[in-house]
Every structure is written in C-alpha cells, then in structure tokens.
Amino acid sequence: MNRLTRITAILIQLQSKKIVTASEIAGRFEISLRTVYRDIKTLQESGVPIGSENGTDILLLKDIHYTNNDYSRRNKCSNCFRKINSKPRRHFLD
C-alpha cells in the first residue's frame, strides 16, 4: 500500500470512530507507531484537525466550527457555480 492510500485510509478510520488509538492504526496497516505519528502529522499539516490525549496513543478528530462568514462564502460560491452550470454551452467543434 502506498503512502497516499494509507494516509487516506487512516483519515477514513478516524472518521468512522470517535476515538482511535495509534496502536490500532499500526496494527491494521502493519506499520510502526513512528510511521503512524508521521502520517498523522502529514494530515495535520494539510489542515485535518486531529487531536490527541497527552501521555496516551489516543487520536481523535476535533470538531470543526464554522462562522457565519464561512457560510456566507460557501453560499456565494454555490450560487456562482449554479450560474455557470445554468448557462448554455457553445460547441466549438461544430
């Protein structure tokens, strides 16, 4: 299994349960704890909010809280995409 596939699978595993241990991930993917923590660091650096309990190997996804400004931006983008998709397309190959 390549690294990208494994990191994606780790993210899916973290999403499927409230609490996952690093040992559990290491056992499932047959990798060392050091590799698990390296992969978790990669996910965190890419913006995935992963928390841990100090002194344990417990990992969990943190709750994400959106502001009104975030919702406003999302709605503007959605409206823009709707407008783009509703316009007739020209066929340049005709």
Q: Where are the domains positioned within the chain?
A: 3-61
Confidence (pLDDT) at 24: 94
Quick check: 22 pLDDT over 90? yes
Confidence (pLDDT) at 40: 92
> Which candidate, 47, 75, 44, places its Cα nearest to that of 59?
44
pLDDT in tens, 67-84: 666 666 666 666 666 666
pLDDT band at 66 (very low <50, low <70, confident <90, very high): low
Confidence (pLDDT) at 36: 94
Does the domain formed by 3-61 have CATH 3.30.1780.10? no
pLDDT in tens, 31-42: 999 999 999 999
Q: What is the mean pLDDT of the chain?
A: 80
Residue with the larger pLDDT of the pair 75 and 17: 17
DSSP state of 87: S
Q: Taking the CB of residue 25, how many other CB atoms lie within 10 A of it?
A: 23
